[in-house]
A and B are shown apart, each in its own frame.
Chain A
Amino acid sequence: MTILVGPNAIGKSNLLEAVTLVSSATSFRQFSWPDVVKEGEALARVRLDAERGLVPVRLGLDVESSGRKSFFVDGTKKRKASDVAGRVPVVTFVPDDLQLAKGSGEVRRHALDVLGSQLSPAYGTLRSEYGKIVRQRTALLKQGEARRDTVEWDEVLARTGASFFIHRARLASRIEEAIVPFYETLSVGERVEMRFETSWGGETRPPREWAAASRDEVEWLMREALERVSRKERARGVTLVGPHRDDLVLLIEGLSARGFASQGQQRSLALAWKMAEAEVVGAVLGCTPVLLLDDVMSELDEKRRAALQEFVESGPQALLTTTNLAYFAPEMLEEAEIVEVADVR
């Protein structure tokens, strides 16, 4: 366990971000690849030496100021992010994750997709292909007047969308299974459940039901829905149907967390979700992820801090940032390596 301590805005988070960029080609912050490179510099470079089991892994990332990026695994250049993701699995926990309960569907979709892309290259490929399809199809819909035919784009949207959605549903059902006991402990007996709210699949259904659905069925449902909204889509120039509009709804004791969760419930839910992520990574990849915690201790009360501490100690490695060591229990500080961070920007 390494704790990076120092005042706000001196670049502690940048260090954690560098680890997520090189290990999963993504960040816990809004980012664009060109912005990763320091103003006036030609190149940003990250190298990460890790050990998985007893096997050393070396990951690399070069980003040019144009945003062009190359990944490296053990010195070999890789073209796609999906070739790198999952080699050194990480689970991040940052203050924004407290939005998992109350934020828009985007927050939960993003959390699932970042995890999924680490767990399977197919998930990552489907995610990026699906995103491309939506962008292409939307561009066509925006051509308005011309009203060009979208037949082929409807077809690929339904096909790729169905595969992508089933991958996502399978992952969500694993997260649900893992989150229930964690949340129960944190909340002293409350029950959490999940439901997919989709723009195409009729009434909400739990992830495990969708996970077992056939691809043909999902594809058919998406096609039907596309047909129903065709006029509206053309009028508005947006793609209204598909996994990019779905929401994974969280329920606490049967009530929507988005509508009703208290501050405490939101925090417990976020923490339980992260614990569930780590457990699913372990089950799927057979190795416990590295935990990256960006200034979250300050967001939690004493009880949840203790739970987080236990969680951190259960993993093989954790990198934490904080502005104040007082948030940590003395036993924890004794075991941790503490690094005082001066301005690293």
Chain B
Amino acid sequence: MNDQTTQLILDSLGSLLRATVTTTIPLTVISFVLGLVLALGVALMRLSSVPAVSAVARIYVSLVRGTPLLLQLFIIYYGLPALGVRFDPFPAAILAFTLNVGGYAAEVIRSAILSVNKGQWEAASTVGMGYVTTLQRVVLPQAARTAIPPLSNTLISLVKDTSLASTIQVTELLRVAQEAAAPTYQFFALYGVAAVYYWVVCLVLSFVQVRLEERQNRYVAT
């Protein structure tokens, strides 16, 4: 590696870090949080005893999982303007990632809720709890234990999937690396730096996942 390349890497460290902190991470966090809220709603709809409600949720999940995320981004950013709906790049990305997380996490949450023994619902109802209280205080806390590993997978995938937003003009980590590399053709060096940044973010998340899992295991015999 020559001095010129080293210098380019050093110069770009700051701007790539800025893109990570100001765009990639917020894009991930906001989409994931909104996606989880959506996913909980979809999971509960899927579990509904009303066939129409459950069917709507099933179709949504099927559409999200059955089409490429890149295509979902393109439809929202390039496609919807044909119908008069126009988004800026960042909100368009948030919307696409939220809908995507909503579909995948819904299945995780649904199966985690089903993994909680039916006796827990009955016991809660015999001490007077209604549906919402039971869900909130009894079922979801136990479902969380089952859901944390697969939801962590979803989150870690999302960190990397946010790079797709580079295709709709969002100046996130990958796009900034591309722009920095283009004038000098130093793609290897700059994509390498970007890769390290993604990797570090994912390492931190994996560490958080381990801690969360330990916390969840405090009430089970090990």
B partners with A = no
